[in-house]
Chains A and B, each alone.
Chain A
Amino acid sequence: QQQVKQSPQSLIVQKGGISIINCAYENTAFDYFPWYQQFPGKGPALLIAIRPDVSEKKEGRFTISFNKSAKQFSLHIMDSQPGDSATYFCAASTGNQFYFGTGTSLTVIP
């Protein structure tokens, strides 16, 4: 059973465009929602995270939008760059347990 559903599986965006990745969850006990970025051959690294008491968090070109009532959250990458090409994982956490989405492979075309 997938605790966190992520879409799309893959995404191709032109340089300068907006990349949007969506995630949905069911467990209302989740209280922390991070996004991880993974480059080929590397481990995932924390990109940005949000807690459910806010609806949006922005760090540079990266923004998380959080809709508590819909149990959905999304990552927006503004002005996407070729260097952003990577796999992105959303996650949801409660206590000590982290549940990850299946990942989105993002390709930014120059």
Chain B
Amino acid sequence: NADVMQNPRHLVRRRGQEARLRCSPMKGHSHVYWYRQLPEEGLKFMVYLQKENIIDESGMPKERFSAEFPKEGPSILRIQQVVRGDSAAYFCASSQLAGWNTGELFFGEGSRLTVL
């Protein structure tokens, strides 16, 4: 869904560098989810945030990965000291209310990270 804006669409980093992925949810949406997609592994949940709060980060690696959703501005997924295994497509999704209430996640077109 183009209304969930992710950038950059493609990002190339060398091992050890930092990657920052941004997500602007649909207008009026205050719930943001980040997923990682690897071939043949589907969509793996990483983190769920509401404005200024991390609600569930159970899917996010404990080290090198962090996420935020500030009061103003986009949600950011940050990967420090990237390794080749971080190469994947990272999708952001947003919803208006808690997921179970609306039932629908709106996805962005993803950010494809390549680590050289």
Contact = CB atoms under 8 A, between A and B. Distances in A.
Interface residues of B, number: 27
A43 B107 contact: yes
Interface of A: 6, 9, 31-32, 34, 36, 41-46, 49, 89, 93-103
Contacts of A89: 42-43
Nearest to A94: B100
B111 to A, nearest CB: 10
Interface stretch (B33-41, B65-73, B80-88): B33-41
Nearest to B112: A41
Given A43-B4, A95-B100, A96-B48, A102 B105 contact: no
A34 B103 contact: yes
A78 to B, nearest CB: 23
Nearest to B38: A102
A32 B100 contact: yes
Q: Is the interface of A mostly helix, strand, loop or mixed?
A: strand
Nearest to B6: A43
B1 interface: yes
Given A9-B40, A98-B33, A42 B100 contact: no
Given A97-B99, A98-B45, 11 more contacts: A32-B103, A41-B109, A43-B93, A43-B107, A43-B109, A46-B104, A49-B103, A96-B55, A97-B48, A99-B45, A100-B42
B43 A97 contact: no
Contact of B35 (A6, A100, A101): A100
A106 to B, nearest CB: 15
Contacts of B31: 96
Contacts of A32: 99-100, 103
A44 B92 CA distance: 10
22 contacts: A9-B40, A43-B1, A43-B93, A43-B107, A43-B109, A44-B91, A45-B1, A45-B107, A46-B106, A93-B100, A94-B100, A96-B55, A96-B99, A97-B45, A97-B48, A97-B56, A98-B99, A98-B105, A99-B45, A100-B44, A101-B42, A103-B40
